[in-house]
Structures are given as structure tokens and as C-alpha cells.
Structure 1
Amino acid sequence: MAIRPSVMIAGCGDVGSRLGLRMSRAGWTVFGLRRQAASLPVPILPVRGDLASPAVPRGWPNGRLDYLVYAASASQHDEAGYRQAYVEGLRNALGWLQQRDQQPRRLFFLSSTGVYGQHAGEWIDETSATEPTGYTGSVMLEAEALALASGLPTTRVRMAGLYDPARPWMQNQVRAGLRVDREPPQYSNRIHRDDAAGLLACLLEKDLAGAPLDDCYLGVDDDPAPLHEVVDFLRERLGVTHWAEQTMTRRAGSKRCSNARARALGWVPQYPSYRNGYAGVRPNAKG
């Protein structure tokens, strides 16, 4: 009987849970680590642990562990919180592997397109200069460097803005009538949460099959679009006609991210554009 491949998803939140369910259906043994692990969906095997602690979690598996997916997110949105979540948390997770004498086949580190500081609508790919203007991108680059220096084969997956109509942050901004700048166009990049999980699943399956992987992929859909176009689309879907005095605030720059490398590997987004992802939005819907 073939041995089931195993993966530990450290920081198993929303995207991690979606990934874990996909890999479980594909026959993998999936461990999910988080502070409130009891809430993880079956059949993800819950591991209660705190990435802020250097002590190995009591439920950490013994023996072979084929893959580590580091998918933490910051609960405290300042520089200290980012460093704790992405740098120190990763350092602790790598320490746990060492203490358990585990050598995964590959480490996947969920990063962000925030490592790019371009702001004039430039096209960006994995080879573009990373010159972030804020602490979020700088700390993420620090964490990426730690991952690359781990001694494990490492792939960084730089995700754009994650969205899901069931989490209506953007729709609420539009319902409030918040304005966006139209000139110059402010390009925005995004990826549906299901597609983010699908890309990670694709990378895991490809690596298990022996396909060569690059050390970096951009997780974005096919349609980097000016933010005002996204807002106009949602205003029409939601039936919003008023404008507020306030302007929508954005932390990211203005750039267009290419997913050509991920697509060349065989990944196909289920929601190639925000138009697909938000297609079900209705005026009276919660999302």
C-alpha cells in the first residue's frame, strides 16, 4: 500500500483550511496548526500550537513530514506584529522541524506582492525588483530570506489581495459610496481565496510528482485592473448610486502582476477576473 504524502500547514487559517480540504480529498495526510485548532474542519488533523513559542507543540507529529506550508497571518497590524507572525513564527516552525529531526521535501512560504514597491502601473513578475516602501513588504522580504536560508528546498508564493464575496469588506466599501482616484489609474491585483488554495495545491502536487519548481510564484488572477473599474462594476451589481466624501484608502502601490509563471506550470484560476469572482453579488445579498 502506498504511503500517503503528508503536509503540515502552519498558520492554518482560511486559505490553509481550503488547501487542507483539497489535499485531504486528494489522499494526503494533512496537519493544521493554529492556536484554536479544534475549530479546523474534518479531516484536517488539528495541532494546537502557538507560532510565537519556540517550544514544539505537544501535538506536533513524529516521524516523516513531507511538506511544510507556512501560511501564517499577522493578528497585530504593526511592524512588531508582522515580524512576530512572519519572521519569528517561521523561525520557530523551522526550529520545531530540527527538534523533531524532520526534513521536509520542500517548504512553501506564503508571501505577498507587497514586496514590490512599483507604483506607476508597471508590469511585475517574479524577477522584478523588490523595493517595498513600507514595513509590511520589508518584513516579508526578511521572512523570505529566512525561508531561503533554511536549508530546505523553498518556494515563495507571493499572493495578491485575497478576496471572497462571502467576506464583504470590498462590497461594504462600495455600499458606503467611498470614492477612488481615476487619474492616474490605481492598478490593483487580487486572487480569490479558492484560487489561492488551488495554486498551493497545484504546487504541492507538482513537486510530489517530481516536476521542477521555481523558488517564487505570483499568486494573482489574470486581470490586474484599475481600482475604479472594480468599484464601478460592484456599484452596478449592488445598485449603489450615491458617492460619499471619503476616499477609499489603499496600502498597496499601483502595479500589474503577471501570473504567467504559475500558469505555465499548469495552474488555471477558477476565477480569472474579479468579474467572475463577484458575479454572484446582488443588492440584497450579504456578500
Structure 2
Amino acid sequence: MAHLLIFGLGYTAGRIATAMQGRGWQVRATGSAGDIAFADSDAVLAALDDASHVLSSVPPGRDGDDPVLSEYAEALKGRALFYLSSTGVYGDRGGAWVDEATPTIAQAGEGRRNARAEADAAWLAIGARAFRLPGIYGPGRSALDRAREGKARRMDIPGQVFSRIHVADIVSGVVAALEQDAPPGAYNLGDDLPTSGNDVTEHACRLLGLPLPPLETLESANLSDMARGFYMENRRVANGKARRVLGWQPKYPTYVEGLAALV
């Protein structure tokens, strides 16, 4: 029986755990929903002794250090490694397409720290499969929920484009990689229709019969530094490698199908 140890049993990793348990894998995990405390090094090392595969969804700290690698790098050796990363590693591309051959911020030396890019590079350096994920949506976490809660926003940023992915399509991609023992390297998992956040918000409001939120500017929106940084980036994420290498096909190829299923 294959044994999977997950660091950080959150929104996405929890669904991966459920999927692998359904396929007969033994799964253990750290995190508030897991069965192991990350700080209990003896328990983690014992679980690593049994693990054939390791998946980390733990984000790096602001200093760029990855807590899993910092604590357990030596014990990870010899396991098949998987890491949930972010397409934020590519930085702002002015709306251009990016694929796995596009240099990340860490590689390009753009003069600013990007903790996720540094962690992504560190995992790839030890032979992991790094899944670079754009905006994640799914049950309880989508434009529909924001619209219902009165938290939806529209930003007046002409030409800005994002990619996104339904959580179920992340699960299917990671499951395929786990079951196939996919080659190490980076894999973009994103849908087929990069578009503006406004398009998605407006579609969600139409589905729910709700009025559109007002159009705001970056200057008037009173955004946090993190949110402002998000809106300052603009790129389209290509998913061809995951299709070719993993045989991955998204169940929700655009936000239209994804939101329809969530309604």
C-alpha cells in the first residue's frame, strides 16, 4: 500500500487526501485537520519513515524559508515529493502567456523577494513535482460566495487578465501525478480561459440575479498591500504540459462551467 504524508491539510490538500484514501492509499497529515502536529518532530519523522510519497501545501514564510524544508529536508530524501506552488512565481507578465519554461522571479533576479518563487525553486531542486496554481475557487470559496455576502468587487484596470482553477481540477491533476509517479518538475494547473476578475464577478451576479458591484479604481479601493500586489500582476497561464505529461483534462475548462456546477 502506498503511504502519503501531507504537510498542511487545508482546503485543497484535504480534498487530495480524500481522493487518495478513496483509491486505497494510507494518508496522514499535519495541520489543524490532520492527525500529526507539525511541531512534534518525533511523530513527523515516524510518519516520514512510513511515507512513500510526500505532498506539501505549506506556504513559505515572508523571509522565503520553507518551514517543511527547514525542519525535515534530510528526512524527505528518497520519497516522491509533491508541492503546491503558485503561478505568482512568474510575476507580472503584462498579460502574456506563461508556461513552465518561463523564468520565475527567483530565476530572473528581478530585484524583489518572492518567497513563493524561492520555495518553488527549493522544492524543484530536490526533485519535487511543483504544481503552480492560479486563483483557486470551489465550494464555499468562489465569486458566487463573495456576491452573496456582498463582498464582490470590480476593479477598473483595463486589460488585466487572470487565470483560475476549480479545486476539483487541482485534485485530478495531483492525483494523476501521484498515481503515475510523474516526472519531477513544474506543472501549471489552470483553466482554458484566462479572463478579468470583473468578467467572473459579473457572471456570478447574473447567475444569482444580484446587482453588479460598483466599479472601483486602485486608488479608491483602500486595498491591503497584499491585495494591491495581486491586482498589479497580469498574466495568462498555459496548461499544455499537464495535459501532455499527466493526461490531465480539466472538468471545468472555464469559469462558466465551474460556477454553473457551484450554483
TM-score w.r.t. the length of structure 1 is 0.75
Judge conservation of contact 2:12–2:171 (CA < 8 Å) in 1.
yes
Pick which of 56-65 and 214-223 moved more: 56-65
Match of 2:71 in 1: 92
Change beyond 3 A, Cα 1:206–1:12: same
Match of 1:285 in 2: none
Residues 213-238 of structure 1, C-alpha deviation per residue, up to 9 Å, x if partnerless?
Answer: 24110011122112222122112112
Letter in 2 for 1:112: S
Judge conservation of contact 1:9–1:68 (CA < 8 Å) in 2.
yes
> Secondary structure of the residue that 1:56 maps to in structure 2?
helix
> Secondary structure of the residue that 2:46 maps to in structure 1?
coil
Change beyond 3 A, Cα 1:131–1:143: closer
Letter in 1 for 2:259: Y
Judge conservation of contact 2:156–2:216 (CA < 8 Å) in 1.
no
Q: Of 196, 205, 210, which aligns to 2:179?
A: 205
Q: Of 5, 8, 13, which aligns to 1:8?
A: 5
Aligned counterparts of 1:281 and 1:65: Cα–Cα separation in 2? 35
Letter in 2 for 1:144: D
Match of 2:240 in 1: 260
Residues 33-56 of structure 1, C-alpha deviation per residue, up to 9 Å, x if partnerless?
Answer: 22452xxxxxxxx2x212xx4833
> Secondary structure of the residue that 1:17 maps to in structure 2?
helix
Deviation for aligned residue 1:243:
3.6
Change beyond 3 A, Cα 1:63–1:55: closer
- Asked which structure has the greater RCO (Cα within 8 Å, sep 6+), the reply is 2
Is residue 79 of structure 1 aligned with residue 59 of structure 2? no
Pick which of 159-168 and 55-64 moved more: 55-64
Change beyond 3 A, Cα 1:165–1:64: closer
Aligned counterparts of 1:123 and 1:205: Cα–Cα separation in 2? 29
Q: Of 244, 259, 263, which aligns to 1:278?
A: 259
Total equivalences in the alignment: 248
Deviation for aligned residue 1:72:
1.5
Q: Of 140, 164, 177, which aligns to 1:190?
A: 164
Is residue 146 of structure 1 aligned with residue 122 of structure 2? yes
Q: Which has the higher helix share?
A: 2
Change beyond 3 A, Cα 1:222–1:56: farther
Aligned counterparts of 2:136 and 2:91: Cα–Cα separation in 1? 18
Judge conservation of contact 1:165–1:277 (CA < 8 Å) in 2.
no
Match of 1:56 in 2: 42
Letter in 1 for 2:14: S
Letter in 2 for 1:261: K
Stretches of structure 2 lacking an aligned partner (at least 5 in a row): none
Stretches of structure 1 lacking an aligned partner (at least 5 in a row): 38-45, 283-287
Aligned counterparts of 1:281 and 1:61: Cα–Cα separation in 2? 36
Aligned counterparts of 1:266 and 1:58: Cα–Cα separation in 2? 33
Is residue 103 of structure 1 aligned with residue 78 of structure 2? yes
Deviation for aligned residue 1:65:
1.9
Identity of aligned residues (%): 27
